[in-house]
């Protein structure tokens, strides 16, 4: 906690202490001779009591602030990791192979291996191979992830 804040709070406690002790001390001093040393002890007691308590409060507040800062840092790291993962997922959609390209590659590979494959069969194999990826790319989860990446400010 800021030392100035501790000083201000201690000063306020001092003033409240003076007010709460002034009337009884004044009544006592009227009937009994109180020396300078006793008066100094009274004020020192008020100061020491109030300073001890505000120091404890300051330490508790600082500990809470530190804990909150550490958790905020962890949340920021997790959000950054999520944003990177969503960007990577968005790039998958761009790099996802087209069934026509895959079918052409399959037909070429089969021809090199000496197996006859017509265009329809190659397209069917390509469609079946890419079916899980297409299903995911059409899912609500994917659309939500893409919306998060495209939204200004990134993921929440």
pTM over 0.85: no
> Is the confidence at residue 152, as pLDDT, over 60?
no
Residues sharing a CB contact under 8 Å with residue 97, sequence separation 6 or more, in sequence order? 130
- Among 18-27, 79-88, 120-129, name the one with the lowest average pLDDT: 18-27
């Amino acid at each position: 906690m800021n030392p100035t804040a501790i000083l201000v709070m201690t000063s306020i406690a001092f003033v409240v202490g003076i007010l709460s002790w002034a009337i009884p001390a004044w009544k006592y001093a009227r009937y009994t001779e109180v020396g300078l040393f006793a008066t100094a002890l009274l004020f020192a007691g008020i100061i020491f009591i109030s300073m001890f308590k505000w120091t404890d409060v300051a330490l508790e507040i600082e500990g809470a602030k530190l804990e909150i800062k550490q958790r905020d840092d962890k949340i920021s790291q997790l959000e950054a990791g999520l944003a990177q993962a969503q960007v990577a997922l968005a790039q998958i959609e761009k790099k996802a192979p087209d069934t026509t390209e895959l079918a052409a590659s399959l037909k070429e590979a089969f021809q090199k291996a000496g197996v006859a494959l017509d265009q329809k069969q190659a397209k069917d194999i390509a469609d079946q191979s890419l079916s899980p990826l297409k299903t995911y790319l059409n899912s609500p989860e994917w659309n939500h992830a893409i919306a998060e990446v495209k939204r200004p400010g990134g993921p929440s």
